[in-house]
């Protein structure tokens, strides 16, 4: 609460200093996952299933084991047999047991003295498979006679008569739906589909692990959250968590995809089997695409009622999402986001989490929200077009605000959707005139954000500079933001703060850098911990001055007497207090541990201008605007970076990214050549507007900003393409092939 209302008087917050990790990163000195090595280290390689679904009848690695330099070979036999529930699913996904569930599923792993030898050994492992029928598409998997991915996979929630591939079912809503639709002047419905998209982080997964026979081990790994790695590896391998010490490397992107395990338990098991030698595994890009990530594919029915003035009266959705062979699609989050931007009396949500022979879905930036936005925001746009209403005005009329009860339950505190819509409407991009074959699309998006388990410490160095220890890896500039908040709290220069990301043994449990939480949660915790040290400094100064600690206050890096009654003392600087610590009671440090609450929800509104080549179906993005509520932009450049990054990933998902499977269920485009992430020249400058409606539950007003930005691009581009061509595409990606077909035949792609 403290500084919330003195909004504009910050000294450091809102400035744009260089990030402390920047120099090392641009000079190549920073250590990423694959840069870690140790004496005596072995190299691991993983044998992967060439089939989408197959029974593993036998594995013979005698020949491979005889190769010079091969030190260990592991299969599922080297892992505990008694795992259940989520740990069993994690184990199954790490290494196949009786059945390989997807193309790329790990079957065995080798550790050898060189990468080359390890890969040669893989070729010598003989696996006998019995190929089983597979299913890839979510609607196919929903059919009663679909090939069964995993027997008895459905939980208690699954309604009787569902396909055996339904893992869970969810239903919620409020209000009288029939009545809601009755009040509408038009009711429209549609089927919408999105393909799976990969997080596409530039750094492939990499780790080095060491594990002794007694269960004591260490791991260096590229991850968003090393406590998660520790927890999951311990569960899979039946280790005592505290005996495994996990240190994160720098990280070249994660976007949610690095919040779980893939190769890590394999490296540990290989290390143990080779007598405790460190083992490094680095994935290739093709392994990354075949066996990690992506997010779910979705098939979605939406129905919405609207009055002729544009008021939304009711909405229903049924989302079917495929999240791979073990379930875990973000269908529940997708449903929560579907109507979250709007005040609607009657809403009804149904969701199915469906299994298919694909890699297990991992989190991806605002999991579920982009698909939901695509379906709902596209349909709203169709209705605005039908009724000739301005899409921003319609959203303003229906927008949620402070006090609104959200479509999925919780009541919103202070939020900034209306401010964001207004800012968008005033931006020059909204009124630039368009030419032939050009169109403009508007869409909103939402993400609830997350606080989560957080543990930090702050300590004073002997010269008055400050060390901050956090457990959230720095992906998007959080060291800089945390340093700015620390500098603000103490009133000391930004350069006098060093933020370190510590290993699992040094702090309590920390959730990963996910849910847009690092700046919000670690920042809030650091503020608390820093204030503990400030209180301690004031206490020591009070003792020196022989006055009551309450009569000392802290300002701009100095302990000062609180007014004339306290006495006439010269303020003492943090530098002096620090230099005398050894005589005044020893080290000064603070720490904070809690499950951080009070996340600020973040809404975004995007405007896309596109041009469609009527002869080839190629879509060019001409202009793009992101407006989003950041609560408070601690470091505006990194907030803009998040906005732009989210937009770019959304543009890729909307236009050209997709998983292409062959008839055999194998992934055909497991490389960046054919998994088409946008390249720099595909994109216009992404304009940004940072809206600041402070989060009342954060000391500096921060809301998470990392995720919301990926949701609106999917519908914004679909709406722009529809405006440019008068043809509506209801299936992503809007690749040239699909767009040209739509132009010729009116086919919406579904």
Partner 1 sequence: MQYHTPSSFSEAVTISNSADGLVKYLAGGTDVLVQLKIGNNSPDHLIDIKKIPGVKEIALREDGGWTIGAAVSGVQLTNHKKLSREWPGLVEGMELVGSAQIQSRATLVGNLCNGSPAADSVPGMIAAGATVSVVSSSGTTEVLVEDIPVGPGLTNLGTGEIITAVNLPKRNKHEGDAYLRFIPRTEMDIAVVGCAVNLSLENEVIRSAKVVLGAVGPKVEVATPAAECLLGENLDENILSIFSDKCSELAKPISDKRGSEEFRKEVIGVIAKRAAKKAYDRALGNK
Give the nearest distance from C-beta 469 to partner 1 in angstroms.
Answer: 40
Give the nearest distance from C-beta 108 to partner 1 in angstroms.
Answer: 18
What distance in Å separates the CA atoms of residue 561 and residue 566, rounded to the nearest whole number? Answer: 6
Q: Work out the angle between the directed axes of helices 391-398 and 369-387 (0-180°, nearest 10).
A: 110
Structure tokens at 552: 């000392």
Q: Which is nearer to partner 1, 172 or 672 (CB)?
A: 672
Give the nearest distance from C-beta 41 to partner 1 in angstroms.
Answer: 21
Q: Is there a contact between 25 and 250 (Cβ–Cβ < 8 Å)?
A: yes
Q: Which is nearer to partner 1, 523 or 652 (CB)?
A: 652
Q: Is there a contact between 310 and 389 (Cβ–Cβ < 8 Å)?
A: yes
Q: Which is nearer to partner 1, 48 or 632 (CB)?
A: 48
Give the nearest distance from C-beta 172 to partner 1 in angstroms.
Answer: 39
Omega into 723 within 30° of 0, i.e. cis?
no
Give the nearest distance from C-beta 672 to partner 1 in angstroms.
Answer: 8
Q: Is there a contact between 646 and 626 (Cβ–Cβ < 8 Å)?
A: yes
> What does the DSSP assignment read for 103-118?
TT-EEEEEEESSHHHH
Structure tokens at 433: 């005139």
Q: Work out the angle between the directed axes of helices 369-387 and 331-338 (0-180°, nearest 10).
A: 30
Give the nearest distance from C-beta 720 to partner 1 in angstroms.
Answer: 17
Could you give the C-alpha distances from 487 to 156, 381, 729, in angstroms and in order?
51, 45, 50
Q: Which is nearer to partner 1, 175 or 614 (CB)?
A: 614
Closest CA to 673 of 102, 358, 194, 285: 285
Give the nearest distance from C-beta 475 to partner 1 in angstroms.
Answer: 24
Give the nearest distance from C-beta 648 to partner 1 in angstroms.
Answer: 13
Kindly report the backbone phi and psi dihedral angles of residue 28, in degrees, each rounded to the nearest multiple of 5, phi listed first. Answer: 80, 10
Give the nearest distance from C-beta 118 to partner 1 in angstroms.
Answer: 13
What distance in Å separates the CA atoms of residue 669 and residue 195, rounded to the nearest whole number? Answer: 13
Q: Is there a contact between 198 and 289 (Cβ–Cβ < 8 Å)?
A: yes
Give the nearest distance from C-beta 675 to partner 1 in angstroms.
Answer: 10
Closest CA to 377 of 419, 429, 334, 420: 334
The DSSP H or E segment spanning 383 is helix 369-387
Give the nearest distance from C-beta 163 to partner 1 in angstroms.
Answer: 28
Q: Is there a contact between 195 and 729 (Cβ–Cβ < 8 Å)?
A: no
Q: Which is nearer to partner 1, 559 or 670 (CB)?
A: 670
What distance in Å separates the CA atoms of residue 119 and residue 136, rounded to the nearest whole number? Answer: 29
Give the nearest distance from C-beta 602 to partner 1 in angstroms.
Answer: 30
Q: Which is nearer to partner 1, 433 or 615 (CB)?
A: 615
Using CB under 8 A as the criterion, which residues of the chain lie in contact with partner 1 when the complex forms? Answer: 119, 615-618, 655-656, 660, 668-669, 673-674, 676, 678-679, 681-682, 735-737, 740-741
Q: Which is nearer to partner 1, 338 or 667 (CB)?
A: 667
Q: Which is nearer to partner 1, 285 or 413 (CB)?
A: 285
Could you give the C-alpha distances from 412 to 3, 170, 173, 403, 603, in angstroms and in order?
21, 23, 17, 5, 12
Q: Which is nearer to partner 1, 22 or 736 (CB)?
A: 736
Can you tell me whether residue 351 is helix, strand or coil? strand
Give the nearest distance from C-beta 116 to partner 1 in angstroms.
Answer: 10
Q: Is there a contact between 158 and 167 (Cβ–Cβ < 8 Å)?
A: yes
Give the nearest distance from C-beta 618 to partner 1 in angstroms.
Answer: 7
Q: Is 535 exposed, middle or buried (0-12, 13-18, 19+ CB in 10 A)?
A: middle
DSSP state, residue 165 = T
Q: Is there a contact between 197 and 225 (Cβ–Cβ < 8 Å)?
A: no
What distance in Å separates the CA atoms of residue 183 and residue 535, rounded to the nearest whole number? Answer: 59
Could you give the C-alpha distances from 342 to 182, 231, 312, 674, in angstroms and in order?
19, 38, 8, 38
Give the nearest distance from C-beta 677 to partner 1 in angstroms.
Answer: 9
Q: Which residues contact 85 (CB under 8 A, 6 or more apart)?
A: none
Q: Which is nearer to partner 1, 26 or 680 (CB)?
A: 680
Three-state SS string over 460-489 comes to ECCCCCEEEEECCCCCCCHHHHHHHHHHHH
Give the nearest distance from C-beta 645 to partner 1 in angstroms.
Answer: 18
Q: Which is nearer to partner 1, 157 or 286 (CB)?
A: 286
Q: Which is nearer to partner 1, 175 or 736 (CB)?
A: 736
The DSSP H or E segment spanning 369 is helix 369-387
Q: Is there a contact between 484 and 13 (Cβ–Cβ < 8 Å)?
A: yes
Q: Which is nearer to partner 1, 625 or 670 (CB)?
A: 670
Can you tell me whether residue 265 is helix, strand or coil? helix
Give the nearest distance from C-beta 241 to partner 1 in angstroms.
Answer: 38
What distance in Å separates the CA atoms of residue 617 and residue 614, rounded to the nearest whole number? Answer: 6
Q: Which is nearer to partner 1, 289 or 559 (CB)?
A: 289
Could you give the C-alpha distances from 653 to 196, 370, 456, 649, in angstroms and in order?
8, 9, 36, 6
């Amino acid at each position: 609460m403290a500084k919330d209302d003195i909004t504009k008087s910050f000294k450091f917050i809102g400035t744009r200093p260089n990030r402390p990790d920047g120099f090392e990163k641009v000079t190549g000195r920073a250590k990423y996952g694959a840069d870690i090595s140790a004496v005596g280290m072995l190299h691991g390689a993983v044998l992967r299933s060439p089939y989408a679904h197959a029974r593993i009848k036998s594995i013979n690695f005698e020949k491979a084991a005889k190769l010079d330099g091969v030190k260990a070979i592991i299969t599922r036999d080297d892992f505990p047999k008694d795992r259940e529930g989520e740990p069993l699913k994690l184990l199954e996904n790490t290494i196949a047991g009786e059945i390989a569930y997807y193309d790329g599923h790990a079957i065995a792993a080798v550790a050898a003295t060189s990468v080359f030898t390890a890969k040669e050994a893989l070729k010598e492992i003989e696996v006998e498979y019995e190929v089983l029928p597979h299913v890839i598409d979510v609607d196919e998997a929903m059919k009663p006679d679909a090939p069964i991915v995993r027997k008895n996979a459905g939980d208690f929630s699954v309604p009787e008569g569902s396909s055996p591939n339904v893992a869970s079912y969810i239903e919620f809503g409020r209000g009288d739906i029939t009545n809601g639709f009755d009040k509408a002047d038009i009711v429209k419905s549609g089927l919408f589909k999105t393909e799976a998209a990969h997080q596409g982080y530039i750094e492939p997964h990499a780790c080095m692990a060491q594990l002794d026979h007694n269960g004591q081990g260490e791991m260096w790994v590229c991850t968003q959250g090393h406590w998660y790695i520790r927890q999951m590896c311990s569960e899979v391998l039946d280790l005592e968590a505290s005996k495994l010490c996990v240190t994160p490397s720098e990280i070249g992107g994660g976007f949610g995809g690095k919040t779980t395990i893939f190769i890590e338990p394999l490296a540990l098991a290989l290390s143990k089997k080779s007598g405790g030698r460190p083992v490094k595994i680095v994935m290739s890009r093709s392994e990354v695409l075949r066996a990690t990530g992506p997010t779910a594919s979705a098939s979605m029915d939406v129905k919405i009622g609207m009055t002729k003035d544009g008021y939304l009266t009711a909405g229903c959705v049924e989302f079917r999402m495929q999240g791979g062979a073990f379930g875990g699609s973000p269908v529940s989050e997708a449903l929560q986001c579907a109507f979250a931007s709007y005040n609607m009396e009657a809403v009804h949500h149904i969701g199915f989490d469906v299994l298919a022979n694909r890699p297990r879905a991992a989190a991806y930036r605002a999991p579920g929200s982009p698909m939901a936005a695509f379906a709902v925001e596209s349909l709203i746009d169709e209705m605005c077009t039908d009724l000739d209403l301005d899409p921003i005005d319609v959203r303003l009329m229906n927008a949620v605000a402070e006090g609104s009860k959200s479509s999925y339950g919780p009541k919103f505190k202070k939020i900034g959707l209306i401010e964001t819509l207004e800012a968008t409407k005033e931006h020059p991009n909204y009124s630039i005139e368009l030419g032939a074959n050009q169109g403009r699309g508007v869409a909103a998006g939402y993400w609830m954000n997350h606080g989560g388990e957080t543990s930090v410490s702050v300590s004073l160095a002997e010269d008055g500079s400050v060390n901050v220890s956090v457990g959230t890896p720095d992906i998007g500039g959080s060291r800089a933001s945390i340093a700015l908040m620390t500098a603000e709290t103490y009133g000391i220069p930004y350069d006098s703060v060093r933020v370190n990301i510590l290993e699992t043994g040094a702090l309590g449990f920390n959730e990963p850098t996910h849910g847009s939480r690092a700046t919000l949660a670690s920042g809030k915790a650091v503020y608390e911990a820093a204030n503990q040290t400030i209180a301690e400094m004031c206490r020591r100064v009070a003792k020196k001055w022989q006055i009551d600690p309450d009569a000392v206050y802290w300002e701009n890096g100095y302990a000062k007497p609180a007014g004339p009654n306290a006495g006439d003392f010269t303020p003492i600087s943090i530098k002096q207090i620090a230099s005398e610590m050894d005589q005044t009671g020893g080290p000064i440090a603070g720490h904070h541990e809690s499950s951080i609450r009070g996340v600020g929800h973040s809404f975004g509104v995007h405007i896309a201008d596109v041009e469609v080549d009527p002869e080839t179906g190629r879509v060019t993005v001409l202009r793009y605007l992101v407006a989003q509520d950041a609560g408070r932009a601690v470091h505006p450049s990194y907030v803009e970076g998040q906005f732009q990054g989210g937009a770019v990933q959304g543009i890729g998902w909307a236009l050209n990214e997709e998983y292409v499977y062959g008839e055999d269920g194998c992934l055909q485009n497991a490389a960046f050549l054919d998994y088409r992430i946008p390249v720099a020249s595909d994109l216009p400058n992404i304009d940004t507007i940072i809206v600041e409606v402070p989060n009342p539950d954060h000391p500096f007003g921060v809301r998470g900003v990392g995720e919301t930005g990926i949701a609106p691009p999917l519908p914004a581009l679909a709406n722009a393409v529809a405006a440019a061509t008068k043809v509506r595409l209801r299936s992503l990606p809007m690749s040239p092939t699909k767009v040209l077909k739509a132009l010729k035949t009116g086919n919406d792609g579904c």
